[in-house]
């Protein structure tokens, strides 16, 4: 039994050794220039302006829906009934 334990211990150290051997390299520092200058000397750009022939601009009307609630202008009938209930 002790030989199995020793062999397992030696085997575990054999696999752990490469993990311990890894060195930690520092991250490289990145520096950027304060400003970038781009020159277009020697570059020729040809093109033509394309405009639409006719433009139709129209404002769409808002959709109109039939009201689902009938608005009442007075509540005279209910007021008369409430007076009768109070008496």
pLDDT of residue 24: 75
Instruction: Note down pLDDT in tens along the chain; length 87 residues.
Output: 567 777 777 777 666 655 555 567 788 898 988 998 888 788 787 888 777 766 667 777 788 888 788 888 888 888 888 887 776
Tell me what pLDDT residue 14 has.
65
Predicted pLDDT of residue 81 = 85
Could you tell me the pTM of the whole model? 0.21
Half-sphere exposure of 14 (CA within 13 A, CB side): 6
- Whole-number Å distance between alpha carbons of 7 and 9: 5
């Amino acid at each position: 039994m002790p030989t199995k334990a020793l062999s397992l211990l030696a085997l575990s150290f054999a696999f752990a050794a490469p993990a311990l051997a890894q060195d930690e390299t520092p991250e490289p520092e990145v520096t950027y220039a304060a400003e970038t200058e781009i020159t277009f000397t020697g570059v020729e750009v040809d093109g033509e302006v394309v405009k639409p022939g006719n433009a139709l601009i129209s404002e769409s009307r808002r959709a109109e829906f039939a009201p689902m609630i009938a608005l009442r202008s007075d509540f005279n009938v209910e007021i008369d009934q409430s007076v009768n209930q109070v008496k």
